[in-house]
Amino acid sequence: MTVAIKMTGRLYDEIWRDLERPHPFAHERVGFVFGRIGTRDDGGRLVLLTRYHAIPDAQYIDDPTVNARIGPEAMTWAMQAVYHGRPAREGVFHIHMHGYAGETGMSKTDRREIPPMMPGFQSVGRDAAHGIIILSLDHGSGWVCLPGNATLVPCGNVAVIGKEVKVFERGRRA
Amino acid sequence: MTAERFARQSFLGDDAEARIARVTVGVPGLGGGGSHIIQQLAHIGFQRYVLYDDDVVEESNLNRLVGAEARDALAETPKLHIAKMRILSLQPHAIIRGYACKWQEKPEPLRECQIVMGAVDSYRGRRELEIACRRYLMHYIDIGMDVHGGERPVIGGQIILSSPGGPCMTCMRFLTADKLATEAARYGNAGGRPQVVWPNGALASTAVGLAVDLVTGWTRKNRSYAYLAYDGNEGTLTPSKTLIGIEKYVCEHFGDTDLGDPVSIPL
């Protein structure tokens, strides 16, 4: 099963502007971006990102063992948003940024902390795709849980359809 | 490809070649306009294509179908085959997904494109392509030409860029209810429209220029829309007057969240 992610340039810029803001105590920011499913060739799926939610400063937890940790209010908000997005099969993606250039992947902390959120999202929005997106300074990577499947599938590419088209391919530098 | 091949287009940027190679372009319709488009895309270095055409070469196409020869009319060679051969002769490693049907019959591959370049004959066809491009997040670049009048013919045409989040062809007042209704009323009685090679060439070249700019950003214009009107008698391309004030316009015809496969909601 092949999966790709697309977003507009305007949404990409909005995400960037938020994630690069310094936080009062967290070392990085986290956000939620929402996406709907499209069918691509050979049974593959597209995830088309629709809107971004910046997590308020107060919803972070001061935890020096990780770069950023969000609290229960942020998670509750995300779960409610998934619930309300059920008619449109709109799922949620945890998104953050790594501050270096080139293709990026999940860090050890990312692997430990973020994938366990997916079953919760799937239990609320079972017909939607949920996942993880990590941007770098000039690239982006995504992993998607498709409906009815708990496995995170790596995306073949993340494309930005903006005033400048960007195609971030898995296994290739930007 | 060797660096020498692209030496004369190095002004497009250090990484332009790689950027161009990663983009997938859809071209539904490989006739007079589409055949120019794919040839130029291949020259520039585009490697990934989704092509559609269900037609074969006829003698009446030979006045404008780039790549077609007299023997193709005799053999009724599919236009899709002509396009594939043209691309592969310039880009032997190109990845071409070609479909001998209308794009509406097999729309899924088109959705994977980042840019769609349409050279279709009808307003309705343009509207359907634009809807698909908005729903599945693709830039849509449209070209078209027409010849009006009898004794003193006038050649007109357009190149339009309709991008997700930007003004659409209705906002730009190219697609109107009147045009769609008039076209629908003469359905089945349109006849063969006049078409010649040089306006198609001019329009396709400009459209390919827009596509290259979207991928490389070499002009720094940061365009999210364009509507260039072609006057084939004067040989000019000018921004359409209907664009005046459009930079402040918010598209009301396509919502930012109306994306993906339509979902039926039980009432």
Distances (CA, A) of A45 to A38, A41, B260: 6, 8, 10
- SS3 string, A76-141, reads HHHHHHHHHCHHHCCEEEEEEECCCCCCCCCCHHHHHHCHHHHHHHHHHCCCCCEEEEEECCCCEE
Q: Is residue A19 part of a domain?
A: yes
pLDDT higher than 50, residue B177: yes
Tell me the CATH number at A38: 3.40.140
Say how many domains are in chain A: 1
Q: Which residues of B touch A (CB under 8 A)?
A: 19, 22-24, 97, 108-109, 111-112, 114-115, 135-139, 163-165, 214-217, 222-224, 256-257, 259-261, 263, 265
Q: Is residue B212 part of a domain?
A: yes
Q: Is residue A10 part of a domain?
A: yes
> Closest approach of chain A CAs to the CA of B35, in angstroms?
23
- Measured between alpha carbons, how far is A6 from A59 in angstroms, rounded to an integer? 28
Chain B interface includes A66 (CB < 8 A): no
Chain B partners of A4 at a C-beta cutoff of 8 Å?
Answer: 112
Q: Is residue A147 part of a domain?
A: no
Q: Is residue B244 part of a domain?
A: yes
Tens digits of per-residue pLDDT, B61-80? 999 999 999 999 999 999 99
Tens digits of per-residue pLDDT, A18-52? 999 999 999 999 999 999 999 998 889 999 999 99
Chain B interface includes A40 (CB < 8 A): yes
Euclidean distance between the first and the last CA atom of chain B, given in angstroms as a whole number: 56
Tell me the CATH number at B178: 3.40.50.720
Say how many domains are in chain B: 1
Q: Give strand pairing partners of B27.
A: B51
Range of the domain at A80: 3-140
Q: What is the pLDDT of residue B188?
A: 47
Chain B interface includes A46 (CB < 8 A): yes
pLDDT higher than 80, residue A1: no
How much is the mean pLDDT over chain B? Answer: 93
Distances (CA, A) of B35 to A37, B32, B58, B118: 33, 6, 14, 11
As to burial, measured by CB atoms within 10 angstroms (0-12 exposed, 13-18 middle, 19+ buried), residue B257 is: middle
Tens digits of per-residue pLDDT, B205-255? 999 999 999 999 999 998 999 999 999 999 999 999 999 988 877 899 999
Range of the domain at B97: 11-248
| Cross-chain CB nearest to B137 (options A8, A37, A163) | A8
Mean pLDDT of all residues in B139-165: 93
Confidence band of B155 (pLDDT split at 50, 70, 90): very high
CB contact under 8 A, B108 and A40: yes
- Measured between alpha carbons, how far is A118 from B172 in angstroms, rounded to an integer? 42
**What ipTM does this complex have?**
0.95
DSSP line for B181-249: HHHHHTTT---PPP--HHHHHHHHHHHHHHHHHHHH-TT----SEEEEEEETTTTEEEE-GGGTTGGG-
CB contact under 8 A, A161 and B109: no
